[in-house]
């Protein structure tokens, strides 16, 4: 029986082995003392807990470049997601195949959601259309929304929204890039604009808490 120890997994993942064992114990995944965790059982437990063993039908609304990219993205199927439908407001798109699936018109939205028991919707429309689409999704029974449109959606209680802003990640890179440049300049004896007057150091001594590492 193939097994792994918490120590091996921790080293591979770069985390503390005790934390890993605590997290596993939360799942109720019993390991065997002196041996480790049964790999197969562990994979199953984690998959189940994360919802990977379930079938999650999702609809993608707004089949522009981003919507098409999402429809073609291979990572969904392997994680239990099934693209139930591609929906777009443009009548010219209707019937057009994207990722081997015909695009359907927004008029069909409610019917599609009810017929497929969809509870997760992806919004990849322009910002202007997002709120309206959101409301129709929610009214039709969707309770989780992944929003790629650059707008903050307002939803009733009980509905989860996650907003993905593609430029935020770039922002973070630029922030670090800037401080790389600043450090070099400092090493050269030039005062960098950013660190010109470090009035006070943050709690971690360098990076403000609001900025992800």
Partner DNA sequence: CAATCTTTGTGCACGCGTTCACAAAGACAT
Partner DNA sequence: ATGTCTTTGTGAACGCGTGCACAAAGATTG
Q: Applying CB under 7 A, which residues contact DNA?
A: 4-7, 15-19, 21-22, 24-25, 29-37, 199-200, 203-204, 209
Among DNA, a copy of itself, none, the one that 18 touches (CB under a kind-dependent 5 to 8 A) is: DNA
Among DNA, a copy of itself, none, the one that 204 touches (CB under a kind-dependent 5 to 8 A) is: DNA
Distance CA 121, CA 139 (A): 12
Q: Residue 171 interacts with a copy of itself (CB under 8 A)?
A: yes
- CA distances for 94 relative to 85, 121, 139, angstroms: 12, 19, 23
* Nearest distance from C-beta of residue 78 to a copy of itself, angstroms: 9
Q: Rg of the chain over CA atoms, in angstroms?
A: 23
Distance CA 186, CA 77 (A): 49
Among a copy of itself, DNA, none, the one that 16 touches (CB under a kind-dependent 5 to 8 A) is: DNA
Q: Residue 44 interacts with a copy of itself (CB under 8 A)?
A: no
- Of 1, 34, 65, 189, the one binding a copy of itself (CB under 8 A) is 65
Q: Residue 40 interacts with a copy of itself (CB under 8 A)?
A: no
Distance CA 55, CA 181 (A): 47
Nearer to a copy of itself, 138 or 145 (CB): 145
- Burial bucket for residue 164 (CB in 10 Å: 0-12, 13-18, 19+): middle
Side-chain-side CA neighbours of residue 155 (13 Å): 25
Do residues 154 and 132 lie in contact, with contact meaning Cβ atoms separated by under 8 Å? no
The pair of structure tokens assigned to 45 is 């437990």
Convert residues 125-164 into a mask of x (bound to a copy of itself by CB under 8 A) and - (unbound): ------------------xxxx---x-------x-x-x-x
Nearer to DNA, 184 or 204 (CB): 204
At how many degrees (to 10) do helices 109-116 and 127-140 cross?
40
Question: What b/e string do you get for 92-112 counting C-beta neighbours within 10 Å, with b at 16 or more?
Answer: ebbeeebbeeebbebeebeeb
Q: Residue 120 interacts with a copy of itself (CB under 8 A)?
A: yes
Among a copy of itself, DNA, none, the one that 176 touches (CB under a kind-dependent 5 to 8 A) is: a copy of itself
Residues in the site for a copy of itself, rule: CB under 8 A?
19, 22-23, 25-28, 30, 48-51, 54, 56, 58, 64-66, 68-70, 72-76, 79-81, 119-120, 122, 143-146, 150, 158, 160, 162, 164-167, 169-178, 180, 193-194, 197-203, 208-210
């Amino acid at each position: 029986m193939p097994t792994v120890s918490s120590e091996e997994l921790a080293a591979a993942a770069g985390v503390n082995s005790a934390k890993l064992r605590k997290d596993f114990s939360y799942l109720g995944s019993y390991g065997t003392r002196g041996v480790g965790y049964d790999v197969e059982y562990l994979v199953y437990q984690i998959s189940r807990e994360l919802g990977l063993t379930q079938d999650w039908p999702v609809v993608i609304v707004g089949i522009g470049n981003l919507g098409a990219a999402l429809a073609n993205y291979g990572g969904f199927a392997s994680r239990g997601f099934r693209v139930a439908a591609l929906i777009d407001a443009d009548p010219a798109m209707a019937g057009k195949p994207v990722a081997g699936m015909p695009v359907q018109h927004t008029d069909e939205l409610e019917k599609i959601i009810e017929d497929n028991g969809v509870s997760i919707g992806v919004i990849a429309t322009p910002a202007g259309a997002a709120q309206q689409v959101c409301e129709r999704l929610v009214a039709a029974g969707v309770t989780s929304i992944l929003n790629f449109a650059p707008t903050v959606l307002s939803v009733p209680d009980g509905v989860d929204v996650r907003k993905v802003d593609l430029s935020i990640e770039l922002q973070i890179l630029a922030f670090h890039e800037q401080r790389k440049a600043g450090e070099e300049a400092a090493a050269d004896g030039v005062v960098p604009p950013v660190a010109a007057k470090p009035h006070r150091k943050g709690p971690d001594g360098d990076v403000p808490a609001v900025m992800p590492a």
